[in-house]
Amino acid sequence: MPLPLCTLSSQAHHCLRALKSVKKDCLPPLCIARWASTSSVPRITTHYTIHSRNKDKRWEGVNMERFAEEADVVIVGAGPAGLSAAIRLKQLANEYGKEVRVCLVEKAAQIGAHTLSGACLEPRALEELLPDWKERGAPLQTPVTEDKFGILTKNSRIPVPILPGLPMTNHGNYIVRLGHFVNWLGEQAEALGVEVYPGYAAAEVLFHEDGSVKGIATNDVGIQKDGAPKTNFERGLELHAKVTFFAEGCHGHLAKQLYNRYNLREKCQPQSYGIGLKELWLIDEKKWKPGRVEHTVGWPLDRNTYGGSFLYHLNEGEPLVALGFVVGLDYQNPYLSPFKEFQRWKHHPSVEPTFEGGKRIGYGARALNEGGFQSIPKLTFPGGVLIGCSPGFMNVPKIKGTHTAMKSGMLASEAVFNQLTNENLQSKTIGLDVPEYEENLKKSWVWKELYSVRNIRPSCHGVLGVYGGMIYTGIFYWILRGMEPWTLKHPRPDSDQLKPAKDCTPIEYPKPDGKISFDLLSSVALSGTNHEHDQPPHLTLKDDSVPVNKNLAIYDGPEQRFCPAGVYEYVPLETGEGLRLQINAQNCVHCKTCDIKDPSQNINWVVPEGGGGPAYNGM
> How many angstroms separate the CA atoms of 457 and 239, rounded?
39
Residue 291's contacts (CB-CB under 8 Å, 6 or more residues apart) are 142, 143, 144, 145, 146, 175, 313, 315
Of residues 452, 460, 588, 593, which has the active-site annotation? 588
Per-residue DSSP letter, 61: T
Q: Does 136 participate in catalysis according to the annotation?
A: no
Of residues 88, 360, 366, 457, which has the active-site annotation? 366
Per-residue DSSP letter, 347: T
- Cα–Cα distances in Å, from 472 out to 294, 482, 505? 21, 11, 30
Of residues 380, 402, 452, 527, which has the active-site annotation? 402
Q: Residue 556: phi, psi to the nearest 5?
A: 60, 40
Return the number of other C-beta atoms located less than 10 Å from residue 587's C-beta: 25
Cα dihedral across residues 474, 475, 480, 482: positive or negative: negative
Strand residue runs (E) in 299-436? 307-313, 320-328, 359-369, 380-381, 384-386
Nearest to 473 by CA among 490, 452, 492, 491: 452
Write a three-state SS string for 13-28.
Answer: HHHHHHHHHCCCCCCC
Q: Does 591 participate in catalysis according to the annotation?
A: yes
Runs of H (alpha helix) within 506-552:
520-525, 546
Of residues 15, 120, 250, 591, which has the active-site annotation? 591
Q: Does 594 participate in catalysis according to the annotation?
A: yes
Helix (H, G, I), strand (E, B) or coil at 445: helix
Q: Does 588 participate in catalysis according to the annotation?
A: yes
- Cα–Cα distances in Å, from 195 out to 234, 249, 252, 345, 438? 22, 20, 22, 43, 26
Helix (H, G, I), strand (E, B) or coil at 418: helix
Q: Does 366 participate in catalysis according to the annotation?
A: yes
Q: Are 488 and 458 in contact (CB under 8 A)?
A: yes
Return the number of other C-beta atoms located less than 10 Å from residue 28's C-beta: 11
> How many angstroms separate the CA atoms of 270 and 107, rounded?
27
Of residues 117, 296, 473, 517, which has the active-site annotation? 117
Region for residue 217 given its phi and psi (left: phi exceeds 0; alpha: psi -120 to 50; beta: otherwise): beta
Calculated CA dihedral for residues 153, 158, 164, 166, nearest 10 degrees: -10
Of residues 292, 305, 563, 593, which has the active-site annotation? 563
Residue 333's contacts (CB-CB under 8 Å, 6 or more residues apart) are 305, 498, 499, 504, 505, 507
> Which residues are marked as active site?
117, 366, 402, 563, 588, 591, 594
